[in-house]
């Protein structure tokens, strides 16, 4: 999962500042690396680096990012390594010069990489599938052999991309002297939204992963890019759109609404906040039905993502709600920490307890989900250390039992605490007195209420059903080998000795 943004301004040349601010707002989508590429007088100006947005850019970097259009990216690695060489955006010199950023994960990278080498005669320099996607697009655009391009040429190339590429991808790109473009995979797994901001100085257009990046910077939401659709915005501010996939359908990732997206975002006309309120309501109803004999003294959310669900749950149960766990704002999200040891270390640094809210009480802890169980296990123990009489645990999502192959770091069955375990066994593993999961049908209802026109969601990490229809046991074994914690640590060790030559200071 990553965050992407593209901005074009018809007059002002402060684009880099707006991209920086947008990436800061999207920081929750990726904390491994950040990058910005702008265009001025036909040239690219780039800065990218490992780390948070605030650490990757200094005043000297921003001053050098010239131009009235640009794209940006915050990275959360699911494949390859955490090497700075794989920070985005990427760019190619031919044809025309193209800068590119991508959110998602391709599922046929091996085939594409071979095709690019043998048929397109294009070299791939990293392990990133984003570089592959860029080169597929660039190769198709180059086949047109035109000195000057227009929006129809971009649409033609994206149409060919959809024919060749499988998986999840929302992308933004930029061609110097021409404009910016964006597109979304035929299933709409990853989000992309368009907005504009009109001032006395001119009009700015933005493409971003989440609506909050638009609204926080004063942009007016125009609409979501639909599955399989492409959009082109030229230097004059003309907007062109076209459906480029022969078959498209809405199948957005439900985990966006459970965990990844900010609650103040609206994705595909579905309020993330209201979805999480409904998750709390449904979970409360299940608790009332199945735990009628249990006395709960206080409901405590595990910050931050579960707050909305926990608050609504407490109201429905008519139980006190308390912020008994305090979060250290300067620790990254532990779910996307690269290794199990680092995740374990970070939980205690990230959270501390208010003992008064635990001591002598039956406490219900609420989290958005349970993936590896590392965080849950330690927080249950923290609650006991703070004097809790009983510790109950509720998950606003069903049990995670299957890998996610579309851009979320859930690759290895063996790393899921619910793998080959029932609810009671997971409860015992995390050390709770009782554990309850959201039903999948209830979760689907909670999200679908926001947009009745969307009838299907990607729920693969809960039910093992993959909407692209191209996932088999061999593929799952391949990604487990590539993306397990052990494999990532080895990749990072190898990457540390590489010569990194594409970071422009």
Catalytic residue among 2, 253, 459, 461: 2
- State CA 450 to chain mean position distance: 20
User: Shortest CA distance to 257 belongs to which of 308, 195, 218?
Assistant: 308
Residue 58 makes CB contacts below 8 A (sequence gap 6+) with none
Q: Is the peptide bond before 418 cis (omega within 30 degrees of 0)?
A: no
Give the separation between CA 340 and CA 334, rounded to whole angstroms: 10
The answer to whether the CB of 166 falls within 8 A of the CB of 106 is: yes
Give the separation between CA 27 and CA 29, rounded to whole angstroms: 5
The answer to whether the CB of 363 falls within 8 A of the CB of 298 is: yes
DSSP string, 422-486: -HHHHHHHHT-SEEEE--HHHHHHHHHTT-TT----B-HHHH---TTS---HHHHHHHHHHHSHH
Residue 394 dihedral angles phi and psi, to the nearest 5°: -125, 135
To the query of whether residue 2 is one of the catalytic residues in this protein, the response is yes
User: Shortest CA distance to 488 belongs to which of 81, 42, 146?
Assistant: 81
Give the separation between CA 194 and CA 281, rounded to whole angstroms: 32
Buried b (16+ CB within 10 A) or exposed e, 170-185: bbbbbbbebbbbbbbb
User: Shortest CA distance to 287 belongs to which of 315, 313, 323?
Assistant: 313
Q: Give the H or E element holding residue 13.
A: none
The answer to whether the CB of 335 falls within 8 A of the CB of 363 is: no
Give the separation between CA 81 and CA 488, rounded to whole angstroms: 6
User: Shortest CA distance to 403 belongs to which of 336, 340, 471?
Assistant: 471
Residue 126 makes CB contacts below 8 A (sequence gap 6+) with 80, 83, 85, 86
Q: Which residues are catalytic, by number?
A: 2
């Amino acid at each position: 999962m990553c965050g992407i943004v593209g901005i074009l301004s018809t007059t002002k040349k402060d684009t880099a500042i707006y991209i920086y601010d947008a990436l800061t707002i999207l920081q929750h989508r990726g904390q491994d690396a950040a990058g910005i590429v702008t265009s001025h007088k036909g040239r690219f100006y780039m800065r990218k680096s490992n780390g948070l947005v605030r650490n990757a850019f200094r005043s000297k970097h921003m001053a050098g990012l010239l131009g009235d259009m640009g794209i940006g990216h915050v990275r959360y690695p699911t494949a390859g390594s955490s090497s700075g060489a794989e920070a985005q955006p990427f760019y190619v010199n031919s044809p025309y010069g193209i800068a590119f950023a991508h959110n998602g994960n391709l599922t046929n990278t091996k085939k594409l990489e071979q095709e690019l080498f043998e048929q397109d005669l294009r070299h791939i320099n990293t392990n990133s599938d984003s570089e592959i996607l860029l080169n597929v697009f660039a190769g198709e655009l180059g086949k047109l052999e035109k000195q000057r391009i227009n929006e129809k040429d971009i649409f033609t190339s994206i149409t060919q991309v959809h024919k060749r590429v499988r998986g999840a991808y929302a992308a933004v790109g930029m061609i110097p002297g021409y404009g910016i473009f964006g597109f979304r995979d035929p299933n709409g797994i990853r989000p992309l939204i368009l907005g504009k901001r009109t001032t006395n100085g001119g009009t700015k257009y933005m493409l971003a992963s989440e609506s909050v990046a638009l609204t926080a910077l004063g942009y007016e939401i125009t609409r979501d890019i639909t599955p399989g659709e492409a959009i082109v915005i030229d230097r004059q501010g003309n907007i062109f759109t076209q459906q480029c996939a022969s078959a498209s359908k809405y199948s957005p990732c439900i985990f966006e609404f459970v965990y990844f997206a900010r609650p103040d975002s609206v994705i595909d006309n579905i309020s993330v906040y209201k979805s999480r309120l409904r998750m709390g309501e449904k979970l409360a109803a299940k608790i009332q039905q199945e735990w009628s004999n249990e006395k709960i003294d206080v409901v405590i959310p595990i910050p931050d993502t579960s707050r909305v669900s926990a608050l609504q749950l407490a109201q429905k149960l008519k139980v006190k709600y308390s912020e008994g766990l305090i979060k250290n704002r300067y620790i990254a999200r532990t779910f996307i920490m690269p290794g199990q040891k680092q995740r374990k270390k970070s939980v205690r640094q990230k959270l501390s307890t208010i003992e008064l809210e635990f001591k002598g009480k039956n406490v219900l802890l609420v989290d958005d989900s349970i993936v590896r169980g590392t965080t849950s296990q330690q927080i249950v123990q923290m609650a006991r250390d703070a004097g809790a009489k009983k510790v109950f645990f509720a998950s606003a999502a069903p049990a995670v039992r299957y890998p996610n192959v579309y851009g979320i770091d859930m690759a290895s069955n063996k790393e899921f605490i619910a793998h080959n375990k029932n609810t009671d066994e997971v409860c015992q593993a995390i050390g709770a007195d009782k554990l309850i999961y959201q039903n999948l049908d209830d979760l689907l209802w909670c999200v679908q209420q926001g947009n009745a026109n969307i009838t299907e969601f990607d729920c693969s990490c809960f039910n093992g059903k993959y909407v692209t229809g191209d996932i088999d046991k061999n593929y799952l074994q391949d990604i487990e080998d590539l993306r397990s914690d052990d494999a990532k640590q080895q990749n990072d060790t190898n990457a540390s000795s590489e010569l990194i030559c594409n970071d422009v200071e």
